[in-house]
Structures are given as C-alpha cells and as structure tokens.
Structure 1
Amino acid sequence: MANEQVLPDDLALAERLRQAIGDFVRVVRAQSDTPTTARLETLDLLDRAGALTTAELAQRRYVKHQSMRLVIEQLERDGLVEKTADPQDRRGQLIVLRLEGRAALAQDRQARALWIAAALHDHIGSEERRDLERAIGLLERLAEGAVCARPDRGAADRRTR
C-alpha cells in the first residue's frame, strides 16, 4: 500500500501501537533484567532463521558488515556460535547457533516470559485476557503480512526449509 493511501485514523492508531509495543518491550526488558544487546539479537535471529552468512545477518539486523563481523567474533569466542562451510558457496561460511547459544537465549527468553506471566496474573482479568489473545492474533497476522510482502529474503530462507 502506498503512503498516500494511509488514512489519518490509521496513522494515529499505528503510532499508538508503535509506542505501546515499544514501551512494553522496554519495560519487560528492564523489569526482567534482560537488556537487549547486539549479541542477543544475533542469537535470536540465528535461532529463528537458522544458519546465515555474516552478510545475511548484517542485512537482517540493519547493521554494517564490519559491525556484524565483530559481534560474530565475540559470540564465537564465547562458544555461542560456530562457523561452518556453506554448502551452496564453497568460499562462504555460515554462522550456526551452538547449544550453548541456545541455552543463553532460552534463559533470556524465560526471564522475560516469567515477568510477563506475573504481570498478566496481577493486572489482567479473564475478559481482558481474551481481548489480549485476539490482539496477539492480529499482531501475528500483521507481521506475517509484512514478511510475505517483503521482496526476496535471500538464500538463507531457502536453506532453512
């Protein structure tokens, strides 16, 4: 959809949604003591997308190749990822999440999920929970539409299928 087709009410709702999601994410990270880092974002991306090249990671995280290379080196030194040969490009290497990386990521995710579960228990009633479940479905649908509308996502997606 072109920007000129966006209605003012849609734009206002979009801005409220953007702010609410951003605030929620920041509060959860702060309260669960799981601040975002380039390292955790990279581990998360590898967990969701599978093995990727450094260039693919940089592109998907919207960072420069050099910055991504430094993050990968640190993750590799810490034993959280490893490099393997790319079967589709003999000169290339894929970055693969190791079990230790998955464990670190799982611990971070669990801390956030536990904080959210406690907040739901303390602040959200049963009718509001149903509303929240419907809202989650809408957000998932919006996210899926954005992913499907995106141009070619590269060889990495084809590798993980």
Structure 2
Amino acid sequence: MTTPPPPSAELSQHLALVCSQFSRLAARRSEVGVGTVSWRVVATIDRHGPLRLSEIADRERVSRPTATTVIKRLEEEGLVQRELDPDDSRSSLVSITDRGSAQLAQWRTQLADGVGTLLEPLSAEDLDALDRAAEILARIVDTHDG
C-alpha cells in the first residue's frame, strides 16, 4: 500500500482561510444576537465539560482578560457558572447552566437556519460533498482538540 502524498501548503492555507470566512459568514447570517466568542465559549464548555478560565482562553485563542470578560458576561446572563476546582482550591471551573444549554440549543437552531439558506441552492452532489467534508473536519477536531 502506498502512502498518500502530504497535503499541499496551498490546500492547508485555503482550507483554514475558507473555514474561518465561512464561520464568520454563518454567524452574520444567523443573527444569534451575541458575538461569536460568546456562543463558541458556551459550546466549548458544553462539549468539554467544566474548564478553567485559562483552558477556555487557550481553546478559543483569546487572551485571558478577554476570556474573563466573556465569562463574567455569560455568568451575569446565567449561562455559565463558576465553582471551586476540587483539584486546586485556588482555581475555579466554569460550567454550563441549564439556561446556558437551552440558549446554546437556540443558537444552534439559528445557525442551522442561517447556514441552511446558504446551502439551499446547492446540488445534492455538492451537499453530499460538504457532508463528507464536515465529517472529516469533525474527525480532525476530535483528534486534535483534546
């Protein structure tokens, strides 16, 4: 069995750029009512469970002060809560609340509606290709977003 050739630099760059641009377009079209950082943070906590503030900042590629500001706002809205870290009493863990889970479900519905309108004109073949690409990207994320 032969080893496949490595991906080209052009493919890697193009994929990263287009995914980022598509994510921003989807957020604009979805009218979720909050900045993308807010719903991304809630989704990250939902996916990974309670996280330290530094872990949230690292995962979202934002500064710690930005993460602190976002978490404070999400706390005030009742979407997340902080609890003492049982492994380190100097730290706290941020977890999603029931209200946060409900809001995340609403944001996801809005995203699906917004993106759905972008996808409607595509052929069945293009939709199948995007479905496969989304599966591949999800696998990459699952593998490397530990």
Calculate the TM-score normalised by the size of structure 2. 0.79
Distance verdict in 2 for CA 1:12–1:51, change over 3 Å: same
* Equivalent residue for 2:128, pick from 104, 127, 130: 130
Rounded Cα–Cα distance in structure 2 between residues aligned with 1:61 and 1:82: 18
2:41 aligns with 42
2:67 aligns with 68
Q: Which amino acid aligns with 2:113?
A: L
2:92 aligns with 93
Distance verdict in 2 for CA 1:37–1:91, change over 3 Å: same
1:108 aligns with 107
Query: How far is the alpha carbon of 1:111 from its aligned partner?
Result: 0.6
1:13 aligns with 11
Query: How far is the alpha carbon of 1:129 from its aligned partner?
Result: 2.3
* Equivalent residue for 2:141, pick from 121, 135, 143: 143
Rounded Cα–Cα distance in structure 1 between residues aligned with 2:25 and 2:36: 15
Distance verdict in 2 for CA 1:19–1:104, change over 3 Å: same
Secondary structure (helix, strand or coil) at the match of 1:44 reads helix
Rounded Cα–Cα distance in structure 1 between residues aligned with 2:26 and 2:54: 30
Distance verdict in 2 for CA 1:12–1:108, change over 3 Å: same
CA contact (8 A) 2:50 2:93 kept: yes
Secondary structure (helix, strand or coil) at the match of 1:84 reads strand
After superposition, the C-alpha distances for 1:119-159 in whole angstroms (9 at most, x for unaligned) are 33x31222222222222233233334433xxxxx5xxxxxx
2:11 is the alignment partner of 1:51:
no
Secondary structure (helix, strand or coil) at the match of 2:140 reads helix
Rounded Cα–Cα distance in structure 1 between residues aligned with 2:96 and 2:142: 24
Identity among equivalent positions (%) equals 28
CA contact (8 A) 2:53 2:94 kept: yes
After superposition, the C-alpha distances for 1:58-117 in whole angstroms (9 at most, x for unaligned) are 222233333322222222122111112222223332111111111222211111112223
Who wins on radius of gyration, i.e. which is larger? 1
RMSD of equivalent CA atoms: 2.4
Rounded Cα–Cα distance in structure 1 between residues aligned with 2:68 and 2:49: 17
Structure 1 spans left out of the alignment, 5+ residues:
1-5, 148-152, 154-161
Q: Which amino acid aligns with 2:126?
A: E
Runs of 4+ in 1 over 4 A off after TM superposition: none
